[in-house]
Each structure stands twice: as C-alpha cells, then as structure tokens.
Amino acid sequence: MKKLSILFLTYQGGMAGSTYSITYLAKGLADRGHHVVVGLREEMPIWNLIEHPQITRIPMRINGKFDFKNWRQIRDVVKAHNIQLINAQSSHDRYTSIFANWRYNLGVQIVHTRRQMPLSMGGMFQRYLYNRKTAGIVAVSRQVKDALVKTGFDQHHIKVIHNGTPKSKYDHIDLETVEALKKKFDIKPDDFVLGCVSRMKNQVQIFQALVKIKEPIKAIFCGIEANEEINAIMDTFPIPHQIFFEGKVDSKSILNYYKVFNAKILASTMEGLSQSLLEAMALETPVIATAYAGNLDLIEDGENGLLFNDQDIDKIAENILKIKHDNELRNKLVINGKQTALETFNIENTISNYEQYFSDLIREN
C-alpha cells in the first residue's frame, strides 16, 4: 500500500472518548509507515498523549470558521508536509479546512469524521459543504449514517467505520487504586455497584429507575454533579440508595472505576458509538444502554449487554435487577462483551479500515 501523508485536525476536542481515540488512530497509521501530522491545541491533554516519533504535532488555535490566520496555518502545514488528505474531527475543523483548501487551491482531499448523532437538520450551506466540498464523511456507526442521510446528506458519500479500542489500554489497571476506591465508597462483598461514566446526558432516567427499585443499590456517577432535578428525584427514593457523584475524573484514572462496578449504564441518545461502553466491556463490566444510535451496532440485547428504549424507566430498573440477581446472565454478558470490545471492535480494525478508505480516496482522485 502506498504511503499516505495525512493531517488530522482535532484541536476543537477535549478529552471525550471519541477525541481520545484519535491518538490511537494516528499512532496506528504512523506505525504502519504513513506520514502523520496532527493539528491541535497545545494545552489539550491529548497533546502529550499523541506524542510519537513518527507524528508531527502542530499547535493550532481557532477563532471561528472564518479565522483567516487558521486558514493560512492549514495552508502552511499542507505545503510543508506535502499533505494529501485532511481528516477533520469537528465542524470547525471541517469548515476551516474546506475554506483553506478553496482559498489557497491546496488540492487536498478532506474527510470529516462524524462521531455523534446529528442534533438538527442543519442548513443548505452545511449540506453543500458535506456533500460537495469533502471527499467523504466517516460515520462511526450505521445509525449515524442513517441519521445523516435523513437530514439530506448523500448516502454514497458516507463510509461507516466503527470506533475501536486497543487491548494495550487495559494492561495497566492500578490494583492499589481499585482497592482504594473500594475503601472510599465502603464497598462490601454483597454490595451491588451501578456505575455511570458520562458527562450530563440522560442520567435523570437512571435516577427515575432507582425510584422503582426497592432494594439497596450503590451508584457511582463519574462526570456529573447532582443538580436540582436529580436531588428532587432522590428525595423520592423508596429506600436510601447510596449515591456518589465524582464529577470530572482524570482520563488516566477512569479505567480503575470500571473494576468496582458490577454494571455500567449509559442513558444517552447522542453517542455515535460509545467509548465508555467499549471500556466497560473490555474490563469485564456488564453494560446497560439505550437502544439507540451506535449502541445498536455494539450491543446485541441479552448476549453482550442489555438494552432499553429511551424513556422506558421500567425496563431500566428491570435490567439493573437482572444483572444484580442473574449470575448466569451476568457471566454471559461479561464473556461476550469482552470479546466484542477486544476483537470485533479492536482498534486495529479501525486503523485498517481508515487506511484502506484514505488510500482509495487518494487513488480515485
């Protein structure tokens, strides 16, 4: 395969799992001999995580879609590194790369990766840019593709490439930290610990489900703090469930939490394909998730996880209790979930699919 010269633009992202996964994609392509350049904010945590002997990091800033300084910076990077293809990770990345390509006649291929479900219909200008001014769109699940097509994007312009996770990510769980967490939350052998790792999405549904559960649950929420609505729901608990709010947890520490969870739950209709679900499954934590978006590509209900329809509070409660009481089911979900994460959704598959897709686009154009 001919070696590629690729510029990843990911400077609009934070430490969300989807952006974090770009570090593995970029490193994987670099390890395969491709020339990889990454443009991102130098103060971002992934600046250090993406350090690699064969990756060139370019500190970038943006002050909006029509930031001419950023256009010129993209121009300079493309010319200095003979870039053939730009993979833009956010809407700002897409706009600035498209405008720079047009303004300076750079002649590069632009691919936009769409990691979340579309939240709106968008406008004619946005659809024009997607359909006419990019070489293609990568959707991280079939459901993201279907949603884009429904909003007016050309289905033939969209390639589904699933997110992936690397086996090496899970080799260094800090057992001392895991034990410290068990002490922190006073976890007893008979406790059932429900975990949630997510910024604020639909966690209210989880609390509504806990109202219906009349046996003790210990729940740990990473990524959020209690708000007025959640506090009001907790006041109606039929028994005193133990609830802990951890707020923002450092990315280096979050994997340790999965090892104290008996089940991991995600109530969300936003994810294209959830990295936190992949992490839980890889670490042998059974998962419960909304039957929506990329969760449907990842989870087969009753085989490697449990699903519930959005707003089906009774089903959420039922699924929690199933994992709590059904040891045979829990063991099945653990075994199959780990296989799904580390084999079917292994990051090497993601890297290979991107590599082939990028190569095909450059060859065709």
CB 249 within 8 Å of CB 257: yes
Please check whether residues 201 and 332 belong to one and the same domain.
Answer: yes
Q: What is the pLDDT of residues 46-56, one digit of tens each?
A: 888 888 999 99
Rounded to an integer, the average pLDDT of 321-340 is 97
The pLDDT value given to residue 231: 95
Boundaries of domain holding 12: 5-164+346-364
Please check whether residues 193 and 230 belong to one and the same domain.
Answer: yes
Please check whether residues 181 and 324 belong to one and the same domain.
Answer: yes
**What is the DSSP secondary-structure string of 76-143?**
HHHHHHT--EEEE-SHHHHHHHHHHHHHTT---EEEEEE-B---S---HHHHHHHHHSSSEEEESSHH
Please check whether residues 21 and 90 belong to one and the same domain.
Answer: yes
pLDDT at 12 over 60: no
Strand partners of residue 110? 86
The pLDDT value given to residue 119: 66
Rounded to an integer, the average pLDDT of 3-27 is 75
pLDDT at 207 over 50: yes
Please check whether residues 227 and 353 belong to one and the same domain.
Answer: no
Please check whether residues 204 and 128 belong to one and the same domain.
Answer: no
Q: What is the pLDDT of residues 95-148, one digit of tens each?
A: 899 999 999 999 999 999 988 887 665 678 878 888 888 999 999 999 999 999
Rounded to an integer, the average pLDDT of 260-277 is 91
Structurally, the chain folds into a number of domains equal to 2
The pLDDT value given to residue 16: 42
Please check whether residues 205 and 249 belong to one and the same domain.
Answer: yes
Residue 109: which of 140, 81, 80, 78 has the closest Cα?
78
Pairing of strands 242-247, 218-222: parallel
Under the banding of pLDDT at 50, 70 and 90, the label for residue 179 is very high
Please check whether residues 146 and 218 belong to one and the same domain.
Answer: no
Residue 51, helix vs strand vs coil: coil
User: pLDDT: is 266 or 14 the higher one?
Assistant: 266
Query: Two tokens at 85?
Result: 């293809």
Please check whether residues 124 and 146 belong to one and the same domain.
Answer: yes
The pLDDT value given to residue 17: 47
Pairing of strands 287-290, 306-308: parallel
The pLDDT value given to residue 296: 95
Mean pLDDT of all residues belonging to the chain: 91
Query: At 317, which CATH number?
Result: 3.40.50.2000
